[in-house]
């Protein structure tokens, strides 16, 4: 998978290969996170787009038909007829293209034995039919563009095009199996979209372990995120976990879970060593039941570093993260002790190896980077790793492939340390004087 970007936010250009683990390092404010956000937006906006568009049409049909009915029936009649017409007609139109709209309207009105004049009935039928035709005639491509545009605007806080070259066009080309998804934005509006194949896999964006606290919204101690704005990536992660939390079907994904357990035994061994115990979903709360504690401990009370591993454990145990999905980890080492950074790095390598995930990692840590390199070599997965150095030149951010010369990344990371050594040396000299 190859991601090409031009004029997105602060990024001038980027050619990023994502066929395993892609590590992006560099100074702050060089666009590292933007790469992951772009990939996240593309996958989740276009994933199963046909089903999403079908749901959108059905929802729009239902709401429009109900709104039209409000002008023809009183409150009591509307509750029966308006709601029934909206729901039944929208479902029938979406699943039966040969439905006779006029006959269905008559049938429902007769069923509820509501009187309506011939003139009003004819007028109602015409208005509903015109509304249906208008909605159904909107092309799938236009709906897809609108859906993608709204998703990008949310992800990038309505700043998509270049922040430096106002008149530029933002271009993204995502190549998968020699076929190109092409996206163009001008003035923060999608002006071109080509999707030659279906995207069936989701992307998951993890940038803050504290986000898991928001799942326990009924706990006595107010969660960290209540009242705060959360990003689209964080909202998607929360909703993905909530789907399992509130809609647990005992027999759902049994085979997938069994295959995952067998493939990921080594990963679970690491996770179980760190997250000692069972994660419980009960009483609208998530907690950790462990032999270390007399009773289950609310996840809000876990250490920040432990929450990072709990998120991964939930995604794997509940089969939320699936084979060939995209996983974006924005500076995952921030809250981790160096020892746990090594464990996290090993999990990343094993996840890619056993799940064939496309993983993007941004980092500022030389130790974390070295750990990924080490475990990739140990598990014979180094050929699935790509390393990029983000640079800022004249206010434009570019990305250099340093896979064969990773020392370029380490050199940049150690510059502050060398500078600190110089300062300490100067300090010692001044003290000796």
* Structural domain boundaries enclosing 269: 216-321
Q: What pLDDT does 318 receive?
A: 84
Whether residues 330 and 433 share a domain: the answer is yes
- Do the domain assignments include residue 265? yes
For residue 399, what are the contacts with CB-CB under 8 A and spacing of at least 6? 13, 14, 15, 16, 24, 31, 35, 388, 389, 390, 391
pLDDT profile of the chain (433 residues), mean per 10: 92 93 91 94 92 90 92 84 89 84 90 89 93 92 91 92 82 94 94 91 93 71 53 91 61 48 75 85 81 84 90 89 93 92 95 93 94 95 94 85 93 81 78 66
287 and 243 in a common domain: yes
**Are 27 and 102 in a shared domain?**
no
The pLDDT, as a whole number, for residue 131 is 93
Residue that terminates a domain, selected from 293, 321, 349:
321
Residue 152 lies in a domain: no
Contact 15, 352 (CB under 8 A): no
Verify that 263 and 313 share a domain, yes or no. Answer: yes
Predicted confidence at residue 241, as pLDDT, reads 87
Residue where a domain terminates, one of 287, 321, 355 = 321
Question: How high is the pLDDT of residue 261?
Answer: 56
**335/317 same-domain check:** no
Among 264, 294, 321, give the residue marking a domain's end. Answer: 321
Whole-number pLDDT of residue 217: 60
pLDDT value, residue 302: 87
pLDDT of residue 32: 92
User: Looking at the 3D structure of the chain, how many domains does it have?
Assistant: 3
Residue 141 lies in a domain: no
Instruction: Examine residue 113 and state whether it is found in any structural domain, yes or no.
Output: yes
Residue 233 lies in a domain: yes
Would residue 144 count as lying in a domain?
A: no
Burial bucket for residue 254 (CB in 10 Å: 0-12, 13-18, 19+): exposed
């Amino acid at each position: 998978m190859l991601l090409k970007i031009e004029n997105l936010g602060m990024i001038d250009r980027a050619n990023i290969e994502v066929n395993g683990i892609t590590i992006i390092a560099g100074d702050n404010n060089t666009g590292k996170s933007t790469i992951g956000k772009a990939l996240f937006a593309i996958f989740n906006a276009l994933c199963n787009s046909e089903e999403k568009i079908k749901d959108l049409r059905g929802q729009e049909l239902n709401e429009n038909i109900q709104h039209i009915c409000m002008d023809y029936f009183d409150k009591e009649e509307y509750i029966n007829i308006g709601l029934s017409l909206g729901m039944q007609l929208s479902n029938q139109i979406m699943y039966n293209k040969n439905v006779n709209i006029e006959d269905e309207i008559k049938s429902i009105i007769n069923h509820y034995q509501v009187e309506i004049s011939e003139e009003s009935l004819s007028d109602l039928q015409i208005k509903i039919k015109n509304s249906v035709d208008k909605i159904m005639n909107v092309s799938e491509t236009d709906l897809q563009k609108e859906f993608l545009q709204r998703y990008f605007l949310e992800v990038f806080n309505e700043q998509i095009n270049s922040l430096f070259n106002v008149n530029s066009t933002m271009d993204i080309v995502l190549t998968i199996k020699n076929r190109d998804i092409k996206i163009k934005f001008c003035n923060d509006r999608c002006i071109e979209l080509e999707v030659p194949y279906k995207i069936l896999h989701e992307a998951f964006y993890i940038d803050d372990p504290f986000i898991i606290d928001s799942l326990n919204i009924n706990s006595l101690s107010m969660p960290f995120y209540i009242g705060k704005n959360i990003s689209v990536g964080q909202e998607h992660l929360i909703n993905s976990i909530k789907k399992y939390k509130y809609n647990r079907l005992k027999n759902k994904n049994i085979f997938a879970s069994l295959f995952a357990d067998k493939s990921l035994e080594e990963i679970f061994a690491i996770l179980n060593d760190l997250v000692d115990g069972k994660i419980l979903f009960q009483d609208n709360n998530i907690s950790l039941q462990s032999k270390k504690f007399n009773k289950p401990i609310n996840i809000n009370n876990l250490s920040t570093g432990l929450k990072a591993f709990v998120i991964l454990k939930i995604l794997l145990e509940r089969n939320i993260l699936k084979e060939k999905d995209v996983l974006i980890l924005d500076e995952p080492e921030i809250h981790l002790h160096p020892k746990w950074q090594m464990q996290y790095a090993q999990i990343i390598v094993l996840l890619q190896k056993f799940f064939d995930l496309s993983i993007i990692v941004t980092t500022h840590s030389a130790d974390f980077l070295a750990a990924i390199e080490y475990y990739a070599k140990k598990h014979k997965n180094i050929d699935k790793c790509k390393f990029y150095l983000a640079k800022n030149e004249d206010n434009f951010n570019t990305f250099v492939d340093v896979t064969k010369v990773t020392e370029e990344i380490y050199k940049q990371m150690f510059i502050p340390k060398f500078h600190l050594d110089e300062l300490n040396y100067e300090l010692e000299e001044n003290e000796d004087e």
